[in-house]
Amino acid sequence: MPNGGSGYFLYTVWNDKMCRSVSFMWKTSQQKDISLADYYNDDDLPRFAEIGRERPDLRDKFFAYYGATLEAGELTKREKALIGLAVAHAIPCAYCIDSFAQTCLEAGVSTAQMVEAIHVAAGIRGGATLIHGLQTLNAVDKVSM
Amino acid sequence: MATILPTFAQSLAGANLFPLLATGVSTLQVNVGKRCNQACHHCHVDAGPNRTEEMNRDTAELVVDVLRRHPELTTLDITGGAPELNPHFRYMASEARGMGRHVIDRCNLTILFETGQETLARFLADNRVEVVASLPFYLADRTDKQRGLGVFSKSVEGLLLLNSLGYGVDGTDLTLNLVYNPNGAFLPPDQTEMEAEYRRELMARHGIVFTNLFTLTNLPIARFQHFLERSGNLDKYMAKLSGAFNGAAASNVMCRSLVSVGYDGTLYDCDFNQMLELPVSTGTTSHIRNFDAHLLARREIVTGAHCYGCTAGAGSSCGGAVA
Ligand code: SF4
Ligand code: SF4
């Protein structure tokens, strides 16, 4: 086990099978002087295209699709920017949050509108947790006298 | 991570537009001085109440004379500072209107309520002057952050006053255009979508009507550049602007059809070059007293990295998006 809380964090969030590769990664990381602080590095966002390093064809297909989904259609770009922001919080993905906060600004969305969209995401996430409470109750009822 | 950006000249060359040449001169944009009743955070003129630079009567007469000799200059676009504070503003505007020219006043709205400006709105309406008014957002918070506390509510009053005179009202010939500009290091929204949003919100919240909305990009110069530096956004903003370079916008940049006049009569390619003290490239004719329409109409434009602000995305000009 590598020293420090960061290594422990990696160990606990990855399952046992991945543990060996975690240790390996850790060593590589130390060699390259990379730490957990480098995760969610905002300099990575403009480097997104590098994901095509091994398979540029797949990257290009994905980017074409991704770009097309955000073009104005029946929904305006502005509406899509707000949907993107809400989903970013629901997932939740730091890169997407950064990116869609910017997209919202560039679509002329007000801060209050962004906050309302985030509350919609939070509401649905919370609702999803709660509605699953009925599954618990069903499971309890099923085996209870 | 430092990235080396292409120079603006390289980007122009990639779009077969280098060197960037004027296509004619139809607008004379006159900056009558740096005095302003406001001191906005994004101001590219560094204007404010304490600035003293101001166009004098002799230069104002030279401007009128150039208009008289050159009917191809169909538009006189007057800017500042708050242009209305210049004592020769009304002289220039009414002379140009008398010659049948289209006159634009770049108005900050709050000036309408300054002492001594009580008759300004009526003057503008009587002379059929187009008003282009800054309103960076349709909500108070973003507008006031950029332009100063209380500016939004005064701007609303100003717009209602202009509406009451017929400005922006269907069926009148009084044009009231609004100007959106981003409240930070990001690009402006789609002009058509934002115009619809402004129209709906300003009507619902304040009963305001207007003609069109222009969305402008903040150019990385003067106060806005200082903000970018202070906030650590300069590199990313420049990368964003250059990454969004659009050849179609570049071929329509406003400097290709206008000449900008400084308060001392010096000629520039645009108001931004004026603030950067980059006069037109035509040498001895770079003053209004030597105005050579023929040379200016085919001059090479002086460009730099700041020009990326005019060519990003849908482009940006004093008349909004260009592509
Ligand atoms: S009102 Fe216009 S000229 Fe005056 S400080 Fe603001 S941006 Fe500058
Ligand atoms: S900054 Fe001025 S010179 Fe440069 S492209 Fe824009 S209008 Fe033209």
- Rounded distance between C-alpha atoms, residue B323 and residue B321, angstroms: 6
Tally the residues of chain B.
323
Q: Please provide the DSSP assignment of B36-90 as one string.
A: -S---TT-TT--BTT---B--HHHHHHHHHHHHH-TT--EEEEESSSGGGSTTHH
Torsion of CA B60, B65, B71, B74, to 10 degrees: 0
Residue B45 CA, closest ligand 1 atom number: 8
Cα A53 to ligand 2 centre (Å): 37
List B residues 116-155 in contact with A (Cβ-Cβ < 8 A): 137, 139, 141-142
B220/B306 Cα distance (integer angstroms): 6
> What ligand has the least distance to the C-alpha of B271?
2
User: For position A32, what pLDDT does the model report?
Assistant: 58
Mean pLDDT for the stretch of residues A22-27: 39
DSSP secondary structure, B181-192, as one string: --SSSS----HH
CATH 1.20.1290.10 domain extents, chain A:
2-40+71-144
For residue B180, the chain A residues in CB contact (below 8 A) are 108
CA of B108 to the centre of ligand 1 (A): 7
Which of 218-277 (B) contact A at CB < 8 A? Answer: 239
Is the predicted pLDDT of residue B58 greater than 80, yes or no? Answer: yes
SS3 of B206-243: the string is: HCCCCCCEEECCCCCCHHHHHHHHHCCCHHHHHHHHHH
Q: Write the CATH number of the domain with boundaries A2-40+71-144.
A: 1.20.1290.10
User: Is some CB atom of chain A closer than 8 A to the CB atom of B193?
Assistant: yes
Among protein residues, the one with the nearest Cα to ligand 2's atom 2 is: B270
Look at residue A28 and tell me whether its pLDDT is greater than 80: no
The ipTM estimated for the assembled molecules is: 0.77
Q: How many CB atoms lie within 10 A of CB B44?
A: 21
Separation in Å, CA A10 to CA A20, B3, B74, B153, B253: 11, 32, 69, 53, 52
Hey, what are B276's tokens?
A: 């950067």
Residue A27 has pLDDT above 70, yes or no: no
B241 has a pLDDT exceeding 60: yes
Q: Say yes or no: B197 contacts chain A, CB-CB below 8 A.
A: yes
B197 CB neighbours in chain A (<8 A) are: 78, 108
Give the lowest-confidence range in A28-32, A43-47, A128-132: A28-32
B8-311 sits in which CATH class?
Answer: alpha beta
Instruction: Report the separation in Å between the CA atom of B303 and the middle of ligand 2, taken as the mean of its atom positions.
Output: 6
CB of B222 closer than 6 angstroms to any ligand 1 atom: no
Average pLDDT over residues B252-281: 97
At B283, the pLDDT band (50, 70, 90 cuts) reads confident
Which 3 state secondary structure label does DSSP give B308?
helix
Least confidently predicted of A30-39, B147-156, B212-221: A30-39
Which pLDDT score is estimated for A37?
74
The alpha carbon of residue B197 is apart from the nearest alpha carbon of chain A, in Å, by 9
Tens digits of per-residue pLDDT, B158-204?
A: 999 999 999 999 999 999 999 999 999 999 999 999 999 999 999 99
pLDDT for residue B254 is more than 60 = yes
